[in-house]
């Protein structure tokens, strides 16, 4: 797929089929992610590919994090039991979930924000590649992503950061085109 077309037609696909993508397609996505620009070539990305039962284990952690905000009594109400059940099932929305983490360099000349930006750029490469390969994907995050329990689940260190989850599969919906603001509203040209 031509790059400008891929950029303009890629959309977040929140509904995918249960059909498991060929692992080689997932590897192509992750290989593309590795080609992101990265100051000092520290390559701070780390990916965890979850399929099958691993998605249920992730769902359990998500539900445990959600339950922390509720008292024991609140957890037992029917409404909250439903909420916790929905939380537990979130990773089952796609056959593949890729957790994306930043493991920043200890080198004092490396700025941590640049490490985060490099991994985010890698995610964009992965999403564009998924689109070009006929896959649907969406990058999801939210408060549970940044919870210490989630870091422990993935064995991340103190300085590491989980940036979110890529839910990947074959699209089961056609996404709507979403308009962008006029470029003139977002760009200032300076010549002095």
Burial of 122: CB neighbours in 10 Å, binned 0-12, 13-18, 19+: buried
Q: Tell me the sheet residues that pair with 96.
A: 168
Q: Is 11 annotated as a binding residue?
A: yes
Rounded Cα distance between 118 and 39, Å, is: 8
Q: What residues does 102 pair with on adjacent strands?
A: 45, 161
Does the annotation place 147 within a ligand binding site? no
**45 annotated as belonging to a binding site for a ligand:** no
Distance CA 38, CA 102 (A): 12
Residue 12 labeled ligand binder: yes
Pairing of strands 161-169, 96-102: antiparallel
Alpha carbon 121 to its chain's center: 12
Give binding residues for FMN as ranges: 10-12, 39, 139-141
Give binding residues as ranges: 10-12, 39, 139-141
């Amino acid at each position: 797929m031509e790059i400008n077309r891929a950029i303009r037609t890629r959309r977040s696909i929140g509904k995918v089929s249960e059909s498991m993508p060929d692992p080689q397609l997932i590897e192509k996505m992750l290989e593309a992610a590795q080609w992101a620009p990265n100051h000092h070539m520290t390559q701070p990305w780390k990916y965890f590919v979850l399929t099958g039962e691993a998605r249920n284990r992730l769902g359990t952690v998500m539900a445990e994090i959600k339950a922390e905000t509720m008292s024991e009594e609140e957890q037992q109400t029917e409404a909250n039991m439903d909420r916790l059940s929905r939380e537990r099932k979130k990773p089952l929305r796609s056959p593949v979930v890729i957790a994306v983490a930043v493991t920043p360099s200890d080198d004092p000349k490396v700025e941590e924000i640049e490490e985060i930006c490099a991994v985010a750029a890698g995610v964009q490469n992965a999403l564009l590649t998924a689109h070009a390969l006929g896959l649907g994907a969406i990058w999801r995050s939210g408060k549970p992503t940044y919870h210490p329990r989630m870091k422990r689940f993935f064995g991340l260190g103190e300085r590491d950061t989980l940036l979110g989850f890529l839910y990947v599969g074959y699209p089961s919906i056609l996404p709507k085109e979403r308009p962008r603001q006029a470029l003139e509203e977002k760009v200032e040209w300076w010549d002095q």
